[in-house]
């Protein structure tokens, strides 16, 4: 996550990497290329895989472009691929799997975009050059024809790749008018590849930011997720904020750049947030998988309640009371607008709402009951809450940082200890619904639910009860209630 740009690649280095990668996938491109050539059709590896081969990160996804229409592609794939499927025939894309390779083959396009509509209007094209010319960035507009392995690059993509810069094949204004989503994609690729964005592209993004509003929330969301899950999200997020795009797609983020007030000495919440995000990424290994969107987005949103709750108190003190609760609400609203799945919305907003709870922990004075509530309220987000809370410490005061870390260590130890004793995550009352009905001599209904809630509360407050204790408490509660 270093901010220092790596040295430019040389063209010779790039060419030798491509040669190596093409050899690795040689059998696929040779066989497929031959099948299409025999049928009189053109086929070329294109876009992502060509770019990724050049930077030595080619994965198992192989995208091709072809002169063949989808029906022909389908016919040429059957009998060769292990499985063939329709990825979007209307857009010309047929998918297949061959061994470890996921292949997508799309008919040449010459796409025009109606700025008033939300859907690109697809026209199939008839040349590779035309297809490449309508792609988003020059580094994505290169192809390798197969089986000949002729390299095609009409817009200087290889030079831009060597310089690690994102540039559009035509003017950025025309490109972004055709499809404003490309502005989001510029930020996404900056974050994924660690590339810079050409000044004229940044200028066009700044001038045209508002056009993003014609793009569907789902498409914007998908790019945002890729950006956030990329290796350098700070680059992409800063670009969104600096160009004004964020004001449309994630307005809570630029709002964090509260003016710095030297007299009141509060931190710049926006900078703090980007640092918390990076610190959270550094702790992600605790979740045992790759990039974790929920953890990252929670880091990004954890303080979004601050601008609304900021108060200047007497004595030069700034407060943000309830910014956790307000932030959770704003997060929910934003994620809904971006059409996220309910499970993601619940997870991220739970984390935002709980991110401050630990700060009431002091130096270990929580009661067992407070620890139980922490675990119960976090539910299956507990591990991510550990990450967020630890990441949310950006003080330069090393002693303070160490103290917070040790305090959190001790909280995790207590959770582990109590957890072993009580299986905290699955806390239930000591009596179940049938036992409650049996003891009180009542049938199903509202009272059973109330008794259950009472026993759950008791369990949280005082820990596990023996059956006798639970029964006595239940009877006392019942007597007090009906009496």
Site track 61-90 with ligand ATP (rule: CB under 6 A), x = hit = --x---------------------------
Query: Which of Mg ion, ligand ATP, none lies near 244, with the C-beta cut-off 5 to 8 A by kind?
Result: none
Between 47 and 305, whose beta carbon lies closer to ligand ATP?
Answer: 47
Q: What is the distance between the alpha carbons of residues 158 and 277, in angstroms, rounded to a whole number?
A: 32
The set of long-range contacts for 417-425, using a CB threshold of 8 Å and a minimum separation of 24, is 418/368, 418/371, 418/372, 418/375, 419/375, 422/372, 422/463, 422/464, 424/372, 424/375, 424/376, 425/375, 425/376, 425/379, 425/380, 425/382
Instruction: Report the residue from 98, 135, 266, 355 that binds ligand ATP according to the rule CB under 6 A.
Output: 135
Our CA dihedral for 351, 354, 356, 358, rounded to 10 degrees, sits at -110
Name residue, tokens 């407050």.
461
Between 205 and 388, whose beta carbon lies closer to ligand ATP?
Answer: 205
Instruction: Report the residue from 182, 323, 334, 390 that binds ligand ATP according to the rule CB under 6 A.
Output: 182
- Is there binding between residue 181 and ligand ATP (CB under 6 A)? yes
Task: Using alpha carbons, select from 324, 325, 425 the residue that is nearest to residue 375.
Answer: 425
Total chain residues near Mg ion (CB under 5 A): 1
CB of 331 within 8 A of CB of 317? no
Query: Which of Mg ion, ligand ATP, none lies near 181, with the C-beta cut-off 5 to 8 A by kind?
Result: ligand ATP
Q: How far is the CB of 437 from ligand ATP (least distance, A)?
A: 55
Between 201 and 328, whose beta carbon lies closer to ligand ATP?
Answer: 201
Site track 219-238 with ligand ATP (rule: CB under 6 A), x = hit = -------x------------
Residue 415: helix, strand or coil by DSSP? helix
**Structure tokens that stand for 438 in this block:** 């049996």
Strand pairing partners for 152? Answer: 143
**Structure tokens that stand for 392 in this block:** 């949310």
Between 221 and 329, whose beta carbon lies closer to ligand ATP?
Answer: 221
Total chain residues near ligand ATP (CB under 6 A): 10
**Structure tokens that stand for 357 in this block:** 């709870």
Instruction: Report the residue from 42, 136, 292, 353 that binds ligand ATP according to the rule CB under 6 A.
Output: 136
Stretch that binds ligand ATP, among 83-91, 177-185, 250-258, 343-351 (CB under 6 A): 177-185
Q: Which of residues 352-411 bind ligand ATP (CB under 6 A)?
A: none
- Report which secondary-structure segment, H or E, holds 94: strand 93-98
Instruction: Report the residue from 73, 140, 331, 350 that binds ligand ATP according to the rule CB under 6 A.
Output: 140
Q: What is the distance between the alpha carbons of residues 162 and 168, in angstroms, rounded to a whole number?
A: 15
Beta strands in 99-139 (DSSP E): 101-107
Q: Determine the angle formed by the axes of helices 323-337 and 342-354, rounding to 10 degrees.
A: 160
Taken as a whole, the chain contains a residue count of 483
- Is there binding between residue 48 and Mg ion (CB under 5 A)? yes
Query: Which of ligand ATP, Mg ion, none lies near 156, with the C-beta cut-off 5 to 8 A by kind?
Result: none
Name residue, tokens 């820990």.
463
- Is there binding between residue 47 and ligand ATP (CB under 6 A)? yes
- Is there binding between residue 91 and Mg ion (CB under 5 A)? no
- Is there binding between residue 147 and Mg ion (CB under 5 A)? no
**Structure tokens that stand for 245 in this block:** 């795009």
**Which residues of the chain form contacts with Mg ion (CB under 5 A)?**
48
Q: Which residues bind ligand ATP (CB under 6 A)?
A: 47-48, 63, 135-136, 140, 179, 181-182, 226
């Amino acid at each position: 996550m270093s901010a220092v740009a790596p040295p430019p690649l040389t063209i010779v280095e790039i060419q030798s990497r491509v040669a190596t990668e093409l050899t690795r996938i040689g059998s696929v491109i040779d066989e497929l290329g031959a099948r299409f050539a025999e049928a009189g059709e053109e086929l070329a590896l294109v876009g992502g895989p060509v770019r990724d081969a050049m930077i030595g990160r080619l994965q198992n996804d192989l995208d091709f472009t072809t002169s063949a229409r989808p029906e022909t592609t389908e016919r040429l794939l059957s009998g060769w691929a292990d499985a063939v499927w329709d990825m979007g025939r209307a857009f010309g894309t047929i998918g297949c799997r061959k061994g470890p390779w996921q292949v997508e083959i799309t008919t040449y396009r010459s796409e025009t975009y109606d700025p008033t509509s939300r859907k690109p209007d697809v026209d199939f094209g008839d040349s590779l050059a035309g297809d490449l010319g309508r792609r988003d960035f020059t580094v994505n507009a290169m192809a390798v024809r197969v089986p000949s392995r002729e390299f095609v690059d009409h817009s200087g993509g290889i030079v831009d790749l060597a310089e690690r810069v994102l540039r559009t094949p035509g003017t950025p204004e025309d490109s972004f008018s055709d499809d404003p989503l490309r502005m989001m994609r510029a930020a996404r690729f900056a974050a994924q590849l660690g590339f810079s964005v050409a000044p004229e592209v940044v200028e066009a993004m700044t001038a045209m930011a508002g056009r993003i509003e014609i793009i569907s929330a789902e498409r914007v969301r998908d790019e945002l997720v890729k950006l956030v899950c990329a290796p350098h999200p700070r680059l992409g997020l800063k670009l969104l904020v600096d160009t004004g795009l964020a004001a449309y797609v994630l307005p809570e983020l630029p709002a964090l750049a509260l003016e710095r007030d030297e007299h009141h000495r509060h931190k710049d919440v926006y900078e703090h947030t980007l640092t918390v995000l990076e610190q959270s990424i550094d702790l992600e290994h605790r979740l045992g998988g790759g990039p974790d969107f929920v953890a990252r987005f929670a880091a990004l949103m954890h303080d979004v309640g601050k601008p609304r709750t900021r108060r200047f108190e007497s004595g030069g003190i700034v407060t943000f009371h309830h910014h956790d609760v307000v932030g959770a609400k704003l997060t929910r609203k934003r994620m809904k607008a971006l059409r996220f799945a309910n499970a993601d919305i619940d997870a991220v907003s739970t984390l935002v709402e709980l991110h401050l709870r630990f700060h009431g922990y002091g130096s270990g004075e929580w009661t067992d009951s407070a620890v139980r509530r922490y675990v119960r309220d976090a539910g299956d987000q507990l591990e991510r809450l550990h990450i967020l809370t630890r990441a949310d410490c950006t003080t330069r005061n090393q002693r303070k940082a160490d103290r917070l870390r040790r305090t959190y260590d001790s909280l995790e130890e207590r959770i582990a200890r109590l957890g072993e004793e009580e299986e905290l995550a699955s806390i239930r009352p000591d009596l179940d619904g049938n036992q409650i009905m049996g003891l009180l001599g009542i049938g199903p209904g509202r009272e059973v639910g109330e008794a259950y809630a009472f026993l759950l509360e008791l369990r949280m407050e005082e820990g596990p009860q023996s059956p006798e204790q639970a029964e006595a408490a239940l009877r006392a509660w019942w007597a007090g209630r009906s009496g």
